[in-house]
């Protein structure tokens, strides 16, 4: 007589894990917001004077100063800002006269995410084959060439490479625009044409990193007994490398990509400034220059949330790549 297997019931462990993740995320965002708010208050510059211009009276200055709440202690200002921010009231930019939520989330964030995604795609498409080629042809001229490309990509700072690419391909040959942005979601060809040089600038460093990690990991995998067994079974060389080999390279590769995606977001700031792309980096840079504390704070919070989201997605990717981790979560 057989008995039916009862359906799996997820215990309270999963719930507590989810609640712990949410609490940790909230704590990180709270600490980031508090520290950045304090640093902005300690930074030099007077936003009231910038808002009023070069000619203003003392009465108008004092009135606007009190209206903005700058006469209150910084901690009281922070609590007021935090309460409004959580409720979705991010304020209005006094330069563009635009709602900050709309400016940051609906306009600037898609530009930064599109640039980062295209840069990562370039890094993966170029870096992984380079690393595989260098590992398979170890100590050959192909290995030396791939290693030279990887080192060259790591050696160029993004701002210098961006200026160099503009000078050669925009000014010299006139193949690509030197600045400006067109969304590839509305006009794919024109959008990709405008993003080609910025994405190459941001992705060049990660090409070298991904190629190096792929090479070192694959060399170690190629020496494992199961790889020799796959060859002995007569499987094609491409299958041995790209199926059996790369399956075990993905874990360290995903780890490095996840850790460095935060660096890609930081690099996007400089890249957007060089190519005048209206993303988060350009928004934060302009807001710092005009002392728009609310805009800077919104950009910092979005960036911190992106960091946390990337780390969460990397953790989820581990469970997809390694079935043993899924068993531990049950």
Q: How many CB atoms lie within 10 A of CB 104?
A: 24
**Residue 324 or 210, more confident:** 210
Query: For the segment 225-266, what is each residue's pLDDT rounded down to a tens digit?
Result: 777 776 777 777 767 777 767 777 777 787 777 777 766 777
Please give the model's pTM, rounded to 2 decimal places: 0.78
Q: Which domains does the chain have, with CATH numbers?
A: 24-86 (no CATH), 100-329 (1.10.3720.10)
Q: Could you tell me if 272 and 282 are in contact, meaning their C-beta atoms sit under 8 angstroms apart?
A: yes
Query: For the segment 31-65, what is each residue's pLDDT rounded down to a tens digit?
Result: 888 888 888 777 777 777 777 776 777 777 777 77
pLDDT of residue 318: 65
Question: Mean pLDDT of all residues in the chain?
Answer: 78
With cut-offs at 50, 70 and 90, classify the pLDDT of residue 330: low
> Nearest 5°: phi and psi at 103?
-65, -40
Q: Could you tell me if 117 and 203 are in contact, meaning their C-beta atoms sit under 8 angstroms apart?
A: no
Q: Is the pLDDT of residue 223 over 60?
A: yes
Degrees, nearest 5: CA angle 44-50-51: 135
Query: For the segment 194-203, what is each residue's pLDDT rounded down to a tens digit?
Result: 888 898 888 8
Query: For the segment 85-127, what is each residue's pLDDT rounded down to a tens digit?
Result: 888 888 888 777 888 898 888 888 899 888 888 988 888 888 8
Q: How many CB atoms lie within 10 A of CB 135?
A: 23
189: left (phi over 0), alpha (psi -120 to 50) or beta: alpha
pLDDT of residue 33: 85
* Element holding 255 (H helix, E strand): helix 246-275
For the ranges 1-10, 65-74, 94-103, 153-162, the maximum mean pLDDT occurs at: 94-103
Q: Could you tell me if 314 and 260 are in contact, meaning their C-beta atoms sit under 8 angstroms apart?
A: no
């Amino acid at each position: 007589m057989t008995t039916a297997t009862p359906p799996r019931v997820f215990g309270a462990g999963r719930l507590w894990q989810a609640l712990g993740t949410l609490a940790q995320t909230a704590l990180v965002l709270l600490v980031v917001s508090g520290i950045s708010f304090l640093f902005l208050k300690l930074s030099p510059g007077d936003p009231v004077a910038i808002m009023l211009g070069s000619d203003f009276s003392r009465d108008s200055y004092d009135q606007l100063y009190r209206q903005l709440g700058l006469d209150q202690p910084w901690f009281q200002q922070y609590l007021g800002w935090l309460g409004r921010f959580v409720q979705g009231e991010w304020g209005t930019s006094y330069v563009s006269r635009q709602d900050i939520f709309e400016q940051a989330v609906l306009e600037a964030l898609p530009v930064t995410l599109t640039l980062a995604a295209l840069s990562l795609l370039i890094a993966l498409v170029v870096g992984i084959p380079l690393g595989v080629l260098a590992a398979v042809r170890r100590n050959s001229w192909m290995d030396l060439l791939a290693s030279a490309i990887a080192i060259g990509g790591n050696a160029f700072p993004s701002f210098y490479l961006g200026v160099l690419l503009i000078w050669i391909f925009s000014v010299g040959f006139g193949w690509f625009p030197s600045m400006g942005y067109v969304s590839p979601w509305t006009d794919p060809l024109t959008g990709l044409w405008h993003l080609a040089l910025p994405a190459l600038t941001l992705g060049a460093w990660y090409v070298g990193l991904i190629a190096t990690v792929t090479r070192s990991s694959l060399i170690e995998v190629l020496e494992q007994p199961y790889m020799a067994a796959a060859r002995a079974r007569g499987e094609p060389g491409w299958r041995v490398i790209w199926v059996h080999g790369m399956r075990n390279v993905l874990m360290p590769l995903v780890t490095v990509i996840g850790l460095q995606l935060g660096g890609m977001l930081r690099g996007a700031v400089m890249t957007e400034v060089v190519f005048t792309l209206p993303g988060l980096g350009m928004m934060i840079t302009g807001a710092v220059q005009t002392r728009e504390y609310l805009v800077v704070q919104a950009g910092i919070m979005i960036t911190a949330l992106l960091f946390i989201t990337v780390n969460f997605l990397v953790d989820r990717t581990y469970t997809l790549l390694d079935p043993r981790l899924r068993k531990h979560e049950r």
